[in-house]
Copies of this chain bind each other. A is one copy, B any other.
Amino acid sequence: MERDPLKALLEAIIYVSEEPVTLDQLQKVIPDVPREELRAALGELVAASQAPDRGIEVRQIAGGYRLSTKPEHHEAVRRFVRSQKPPLRLSLPALETLAIIAYKQPVTLPEIHAIRGVDPSSALATLLDKGLVVTAGRKQCVGRPILYRTSKEFLIRFGLKDASELPTLKEFEELARATLGEMEGAGGESAPASGSDEQAVEAGNA
């Protein structure tokens, strides 16, 4: 198949699909085109949709391809959509729990508790409720606790290609070390006792 009609066909299929369309699914419907060619055509489709005269773009999300409006048209588009996109409001605890699951998956409740320092049950229940997190069998250890992982819905709601697209934890590690470790006026136990207490910044003191 020539490249242009192939791209057109791919666009049509992605348009009608309810879920992000995977390469496997496309290969099944278009068996006579080599996989590599499909992949290349998809790449061109993604690139072409970035043109400034295009309002909808083909994006890689949740392991597949799908169409969506570009974020810059948000305001005008919203006026056309009958009701609001169901807003995904997550509390900070829920977001933190989600972050832990996203990076440590599959992970158990006690493991999350250890990192957060607080019982994560309520936050976890919220995430399960919203379908952002799903169960993933049981851990083969004492008590066989339930394992949790992020769902496809999570990838879609957060616009991620797949879980590996998240920035590495190392980046956050460096950030944490930088902001908490290299501060002025560091007064440790090893420092002269007098120093540290006086250096306390009267943050909220009136």
Contact = CB atoms under 8 A, between A and B. Distances in A.
A136 interface: yes
A128 B175 CA distance: 9
Nearest to A8: B55
Contact of A52 (B8, B73, B175): B8
A158 to B, nearest CB: 9
Interface residues of A, number: 82
Interface string A70-88: 1001001101111110110
Nearest to A197: B92
B67 A118 contact: no
A156 interface: no
A16 B129 CA distance: 26
A17 B84 contact: yes
Interface of A: 3-5, 7-13, 15-19, 21, 25, 28-30, 48, 51-56, 67, 69-70, 73, 76-77, 79-84, 86-87, 91-93, 118-119, 121-126, 128-129, 134-138, 146, 159-161, 165, 167, 171, 174-179, 181-182, 187-190, 195-198
